Structure 1
Amino acid sequence: MIGAELTIQLVVLRLFAGLIIVAVQGATIAAAAVLLGDKGPRYDGRLTLLPLAHLDLLGLVSIMVSGLGWSKPVAIETARLRFGRWGLVIAALAGSVALLVAGYLILLLIIPLLTLLPYTAGLTGAAFVRVAARLCVWMALFSLLPVPPLAGAHLLAAIGIRLPAWVGIVIGIGLLAASAFGITRMLLTPAYEVVAPLVLGLELAG
């Protein structure tokens, strides 16, 4: 959300965390699709952890400004999936589960960073870890909203609804605005308050 708490340091931390998040989510969705029978994401260059392959500039800007954004949508052919339309659901869920796991694993770096790095670098590293872990949980939830350009759009496709690419751009701009003013975060807070303590622990969930 835009406000007094939005500092240059926070924007930079969100930038680097966002690059990790889009890479993890995009690669996981692509891998799930490939495992389920659609080799397309492999040929599209999405089966990689390099952030550039999964980057959506508007989505990254949204992450930097509001802490909520999205990766480049993964093109999946339903007809090639082993479980048909259910495969789309599995792929979308896999992306969010991967982010929750990533959030948990990232937190494990706090103690090594604080103990092995010089004081200032350790504090900066720990701050990044906390921001990245929380963003992983927020993004895992946000991504499941069934609208393009979010991964949750695969849930729409699973029931036979596919929207033109331009609709995703328009909705993306709307999501950026809604997230910047805290609307999406407010709507997702009840779910975050349930999931975050399970992944991050009570102390770091806030």
Structure 2
Amino acid sequence: MNFLNDLSLSQIMTRLVGYLIVVLVHGFALAGLATLFGDRDAAHSGRLTLNPLPHVSLPGLVAAILFQPSWMRPLPIEDRALRGGRLGLVVLYIASLAVVLAIVPILTPVRIWLSTLLTGTAAVSVLGTIDAAQRLGLWFVLLNALPLPGLTGSLLLQAAYPPVMPQVRRLELPAMLIFLVILGTGAFQSAFSPLQSSLVRLLMN
């Protein structure tokens, strides 16, 4: 995959900003839901914020720019503090990813409206960023739906067997590096491209 030669500076910038938008939406939604369900740690750790930087994972940012599928910095959630306990974890998993999916079609009329107002370089930059955020959002959901360390899907592991979480959290960084290698081969993108293309047609057109 000759991804470095294929990327222009404008693509790098739009993907960078698009990634910040996606992790802000997802991170704030997950932290907000965790707080609503009774776990105050997310708020105390500074994750209940509209500043995207606390949600950024450096490996996830690299993945977004180079490959598009990405992830945010993991947010530890205490299942014993949640209303609904382990079932609450499943609700948080589904709802926080659903919020990202919901943002994708919402951005489409915004993109269309702005295309009638902007011209020249401003139009290219702004519309490209919105398009990148939508596509990155779809890839983000597809990757983070997987129940793996370092991803939002690890909430499913915690819901299934909470005592496994110390080991899962120790594996987060190695798992992220492995994700980068797998994404670099294009295997994940090839496997999930049909589903991603279907979501693009459904939610972006």
Q: Tell me the TM-score normalized by structure 1.
A: 0.90
Quick check: 1:199 aligned with 2:165? no
Aligned-partner Cα distance in 2 for 1:2–1:96: 30
Q: Alignment partner for residue 165 of structure 1, among 149, 162, 169?
A: 169
What are the ranges of 5 or more consecutive residues in structure 2 without an aligned counterpart? none
**Aligned counterparts, 1:88-167, within 5 A:** 88-160=89-161, 161-162=164-165, 163-167=167-171
Matching of residues 5-154 of structure 1 within 5 Å? 5-154=6-155
Structure 1 consecutive aligned stretches of length 4 or more whose deviation exceeds 4 Å: none
User: Counterparts of 1:2 and 1:10 in 2: how far apart (Å)?
Assistant: 15
Alpha carbons 2:114, 2:127 under 8 Å: kept: yes
The answer (yes or no) to whether the contact 2:149–2:168 under 8 Å persists in 1 is no
CA distance in 2, matches of 1:158, 1:25: 19
SS of the residue aligned with 1:109? helix
**Percentage identity across paired residues of the two chains:** 31
Give the alignment partner of residue 191 of structure 2, picking from 187, 195, 206.
187
Report if aligned partners of 1:100, 1:140 keep a CA contact under 8 Å in 2: yes
Q: Distance in 1 between matches of 2:168 and 2:137?
A: 28
Secondary structure, counterpart of 1:53 in structure 2: helix
Counterpart contact for 1:115–1:122, Cα < 8 Å: no
**What is the CA deviation profile of residues 71-129 of structure 1, one whole-angstrom value per residue up to 9, with x for unaligned ones?**
11111110111111111111111221111111112222222322222333213322222
Q: How many residues align?
A: 201
Structure 1: how far apart are the matches of 2:2 and 2:84?
Answer: 42
Q: Given the two structures, how large is their TM-score scaled by the length of structure 2?
A: 0.91
Structure 1 gap ranges (5+): 202-206
**Larger helix proportion, structure 1 or 2?**
2
Distance in structure 1 (CA, Å) of the matches to 2:130 and 2:196: 18
